[in-house]
Amino acid sequence: MLLIDDFLDEDQCARFRQRILNAPFASGASTAGGMAANVKKNLQLDERKAGKVLDEIKSLILAHPGVDLFAMPEKLVGVIINRYDEGMEYGNHSDSPIMEGVRCDLSFTLFLEDHSNYDGGELVLEQEHGLIKVKPKIGSIFVYSTGLTHRVAKVTRGSRLACVGWVKSRIRDEGRRKVLRDLNAVLGAYMEKNGHDAIADLQLKIIGDLIRMWHE
């Protein structure tokens, strides 16, 4: 899991919100597949009238070094803007493994409303060792495994606004992604202490060899 608190700055949030909130929303249940449609109660931005907002958000996500290191994204799919007004929620569900014909390895939520402006609305994820509740400040992005059962808790005051979507990673397996993240961390620490030398070059070669071996 990855949480980046300042993925968007204050000005970026304000500009996106102005454009998003001026566009029409409709029921979001129609985009849920299978049993999830029965537990999805929210609103979804009409992407045909959203202009280039979604394309701009996707470009920012794909270009962010922290997201790239963690998720190693090849492609984003199913990116939408949703809103939960008072009384709305999305019950327990797991996301589809395939969207638009693309394998989904990771999911993300980009929070576009400050947590102080609404009650409830936490993103709740079930893990083997208990629940994780995520409700960060505006402009934060949270990335997590698509296979996790999760829900959005009922909003009891205000409105929750977010952009959500799914990631096909260049490296399918999370264990392999973790190995590459750890090796990059070791390389960064080594170069900070010793500079770019022959050992750093060897570490870069190993990382490159593994990427070629594991890339799909």
What pLDDT, in 10s, does the model give residues 18-74?
999 888 898 877 665 555 667 889 999 987 777 789 999 999 999 999 999 999 999
Per domain, the residue ranges of the chain are: 2-169, 174-214
Is residue 61 within 8 Å of residue 108, measured between CB atoms? yes
- The whole-number pLDDT of residue 118 equals 97
Is residue 5 within 8 Å of residue 137, measured between CB atoms? yes
Q: Please identify which residue in the block is written with the tokens 């934060």.
A: 140
- The whole-number pLDDT of residue 198 equals 97
Alpha carbon distance 165, 108 (integer Å): 6
Helix (H, G, I), strand (E, B) or coil at 118: coil
Prediction pTM value: 0.90
2-169: CATH superfamily: q2cbj1_9rhob like domain (2.60.120.620)
How large a percentage of the chain has pLDDT more than 90?
Answer: 83
Q: What is the mean pLDDT of residues 3-27?
A: 92
CB atoms within 10 A of CB 98: 12
In which element (H, E) is residue 91 found?
strand 89-93
- The whole-number pLDDT of residue 36 equals 60
